[in-house]
Amino acid sequence: MVKQILFILSMIIAFGILAYSFSRIVAMFKLTKPFPIKNIGLRIWMTLKVAIWQSKIFRRPVMGFFHALVFWGFCVILFGSLDMMIDGVSGMEKSLSFLGIVYTFLMAFGDIFALLVLISVVIFLFRRIFMNVRRFSGIEMKHNSHIDANIALSLIFFLMVSLLLMNANYISMHPESHAAYPVSNLIAQLIQPLSHHGFYYEFSWWSHIILIFIFMNILPYSKHFHVFMSVPNVFLSRLDPLGKLPNMDNVTKEVKIMMDPNLAYATPAATEAPPERFGVKDAEDVTWKSYLDSLACTECGRCTSKCPANITGKLLSPRKVIMDLRARMKEKGPSLSKNKSFTDNKSLIRDYVTTEELWACTTCNACATECPININHPILIMEMRRYLVMEESSAPSGLNMIFSNIQNNGAPWQFSSEDRMIWAKNLTMKVK
């Protein structure tokens, strides 16, 4: 009974803190612009392929395999965690064991994956601490980012250790259950002299569940928030071809009327309000999907490592642009949610992302292609360019010349439409 009360209090505190963290994040989403969601069937298929099967992770087959093991391991081990929580609330032991062979299979699978996850995390920690992996560095990767990663990986390490020890101690008390814990059964044979009574089981049980509560509450403030956000982010992926850039409907209407003035009479007068802003200047101008991208970003650096602009020494780092959006919303969002007119005289453009970075992008979509959770970096970059061009008339000189020529001559070239075919005047063509 005491254990039940302590567990229920611990669970209420843990999930209360988690709910508070998510409420703050939801408040940030409310500041952003709409993003339409359609074609649920295709989204489900995308989620199964990219998020569950981890297809894009396997672009780097060796480390991708270990990462997939961690993801799949968490999915399977989640069943055992649910079983523990039901036990804690009900005061029972192995509450879901009524599932019979299904229960035994899932617990055995979870026990095996606990070891595989443990091995994978050791490899990840070794790479981060002792190997100079280039994509883990960059101007955006502060010292805190590396500490954050090491803390999260260390917590996962101890989660797996406590799980295996808990299962091993349980086997020592209940030898008949060894089939459900094939890996822990081997550990139990080594620690049997120490685990002939329930103290060690209770200690490892509490250690594991408290680590779960700590880990899940650290995640919303960590780069490992993708544990929660990556699957939803893939489900909500932008389904248009990567090269297709979104247009503003009201601007498209104006352009069509300019090309064909008769449309002005055929089209009813627009009743919608004019846009508050063309493009993106600050964090609140993005769609909620772009903000979700920033929260789901794993900071793995695969996008930047494949960016041609970054490879050739330009300032652009697609990872930095996404991280800057997250940092800017974290800075401005809390005050903006309380006062819609709040301003700190800063913005995402220039104070976080420089114009040089934005204009370095070639929109080749290498970053979006490489991202394992379908973050679309070029859309955000192009929206910030849209603001620079349409509201500040700020663009590189070469583009400004093209804009002027289109406005004056109806074409990108610097001569009038009447002179457009002069180059072909004296050319002849044989007709067979």
| pLDDT number for residue 207 | 96
Say how far apart CA 427 and CA 421 lie, in whole Å.
11
| pLDDT number for residue 409 | 79
- All structural domains of the chain, each given as residue ranges with its CATH number in brackets, are 2-47+54-223 (1.20.950), 249-413 (1.10.1060)
Say how far apart CA 115 and CA 120 lie, in whole Å.
9
| pLDDT number for residue 267 | 59
Say how far apart CA 203 and CA 170 lie, in whole Å.
11
Write out the chain's pLDDT in tens, 432 residues.
788 999 999 999 999 999 999 999 999 999 999 999 999 999 999 999 999 999 999 999 999 999 999 999 999 999 999 999 999 999 999 999 999 999 999 999 999 999 999 999 999 999 999 998 999 999 999 999 999 999 999 999 999 999 999 999 999 888 888 889 999 999 988 877 665 567 889 999 999 999 999 999 999 999 889 999 999 999 999 999 998 888 888 888 877 877 777 776 665 555 556 667 899 999 999 999 999 999 999 999 999 999 999 999 999 999 999 999 999 999 999 999 999 899 999 999 999 999 999 999 999 999 999 999 999 999 999 999 999 999 998 988 888 888 888 878 777 888 777 777 787 888 887 776
- Which residues on adjacent β-strands are paired with residue 33? 287
Q: Is the dihedral of CA 206, 212, 213, 218 positive or negative?
A: positive
| pLDDT number for residue 273 | 64
| pLDDT number for residue 4 | 93
Contacts of 115 (CB under 8 A, 6+ apart): 160, 164, 183
Question: DSSP for 234-250?
Answer: HHT---S-TTPPPPPHH
| pLDDT number for residue 287 | 95
| pLDDT number for residue 163 | 96
| pLDDT number for residue 266 | 61
Q: CB of 334 within 8 A of CB of 24?
A: yes
Identify the burial level of 423 via C-beta atoms within 10 angstroms of its C-beta, where 0-12 means exposed, 13-18 middle and 19 or more buried: exposed
| pLDDT number for residue 421 | 79
Q: CB of 64 within 8 A of CB of 57?
A: yes
| pLDDT number for residue 406 | 81
Place of tokens 């979104």: 246
Say how far apart CA 104 and CA 79 lie, in whole Å.
11
Question: Cα 33–34–39 angle (5° rounding)?
Answer: 150
- Residue 187 corresponds to which tokens in the numbers above? 């550990």
